[in-house]
Amino acid sequence: MAVEIIMPKMGMAMKEGTVAIWHKKVGDTVKKGELIASIQSEKIEAEIEAPADGTIIDISVSEGIGVPPGAVIGYIGNKNEQVPSQPDPATQATEHQEIAATVEIDKKRKKATNQASNGKIKISPVARKMAEAAGLSIEHIHGTGPQGRITKEDVTEALAQNDAEKGEMKAAAVEASKQLKVEGMRKVIADRMYTSIQHTAQLTLNSKADVTELQALQRKLTSIAEKNHHNKLTITDFIAKAVVLSLQKHEQMNSAYVNEHIQQFANIHLGIAVALENGLVVPVIKHAEQASLLHISQQIKLLAQKAREGTLESEEMAGSTFTISNLGAYGIEHFTPILNPPETGILGVGAIEVRPAFIGENIEKRSYLPLSLTFDHRVLDGAPAAAFLKTVVQLLEEPHALLL
How many CA atoms, within 13 angstroms, populate the side-chain half-sphere of residue 385?
23
Residues with Cβ within 8 Å of residue 183, at least 6 apart in sequence:
none
Cβ burial 250-259 (10 Å sphere, 16+ → b, else e): bebbbbbbee
DSSP state for residue 138 in the 8-state scheme: G
Please check whether residue 78 is in contact with residue 55, taking contact to mean a CB–CB distance below 8 angstroms.
yes
Other beta carbons within 10 angstroms of residue 74's beta carbon come to: 25
Query: Given its phi and psi angles, is residue 64 left (phi above 0), alpha (psi -120 to 50 degrees) or beta?
Result: left
Q: What is the distance between the alpha carbons of residues 197 and 183, in angstroms, rounded to a whole number?
A: 20
Largest separation between any pair of C-alpha atoms in the chain: 116
Please check whether residue 134 is in contact with residue 159, taking contact to mean a CB–CB distance below 8 angstroms.
yes
Q: What is the distance between the alpha carbons of residues 392 and 404, in angstroms, rounded to a whole number?
A: 15
Q: Which of 23, 295, 334, 377 is catalytic?
A: 377
Task: Decide if 381 is catalytic.
Answer: yes
Q: Which of 229, 287, 381, 400 is catalytic?
A: 381
Instruction: Choose among 292, 277, 188: nearest CA to 244.
Output: 292
Residues with Cβ within 8 Å of residue 352, at least 6 apart in sequence:
211, 215, 235, 328, 367, 368, 369
Strand-pair category, 54-59 with 72-77? antiparallel
Report residue 218: phi and psi, to 5°. Answer: -60, -45
DSSP state for residue 164 in the 8-state scheme: H
The residues that are catalytic are: 377, 381
